[in-house]
Amino acid sequence: MLVSRCPCREAPKPIYLTDYAPPDYNFSKVALDFNLGEEVTTVASTISVEPTYDASRPSRPLFLNGDPCVELTGIGVNGAALAESAYTLTPKGLTITAPPTDPFTLTITTAIKPQDNTELEAWPARYCSRSPSHRVPFDSRHEGSYAVDDLTSAGTLCVG
């Protein structure tokens, strides 16, 4: 697993419309579970993945953008742990080299250490849940597990 101290990032590069291609995968559902700890925040994500390419053709790699400040602590497909030989992890992201050609469930668990983030990005000292009707503050000193089941209707974790 990758352990990093948040090295400097490259400057963002523009992405042009001419470079666009339809994605090979759609994410039909994303569930996030945050465990806010004093030293480490753990994020468990469960993603319903649907390939969009012709299933009779060979599997295509699935690339997910990453962040060198985030440590990958677990990855699985359809409930089974993925062997380290089945994916590549770089500071830019995670590539699953041969994911299933049928719809599947991808689970990823990561650890974030906000105190090690010297670029002042990602997780601040205070969190909140936001929905159209209310905001509930969460203090980062309170350990617990908070789930966001439906990002569009239940809300998102946001800066307080």
Q: How many domains does the chain have?
A: 1
Is 66 inside any structural domain? yes
The CATH number of whichever domain residue 114 belongs to comes to 2.60.40.1730
Is 79 inside any structural domain? yes
Q: How many CB atoms lie within 10 A of CB 32?
A: 16
pLDDT for res 63: 94
Is 68 inside any structural domain? yes
Distance CA 117, CA 68 (A): 10
pLDDT for res 121: 54
How far from 75 is each of 10, 79, 103, 127, 150, CA to CA, in Å? 26, 9, 17, 25, 21
Is 127 inside any structural domain? no
pLDDT for res 12: 73
Is 133 inside any structural domain? no
Phi then psi for residue 114, to 5 deg, are -55, -30
pLDDT for res 1: 45
Residue 54 belongs to what domain range?
1-8+24-119
Distance CA 54, CA 81 (A): 26
Residues of the chain scoring pLDDT < 50: 1-4, 122-160
Is 125 inside any structural domain? no
Is 151 inside any structural domain? no
pLDDT for res 118: 64
> pLDDT tens-digit profile of 46-92?
999 999 988 788 889 999 988 888 899 999 999 999 999 999 999 88
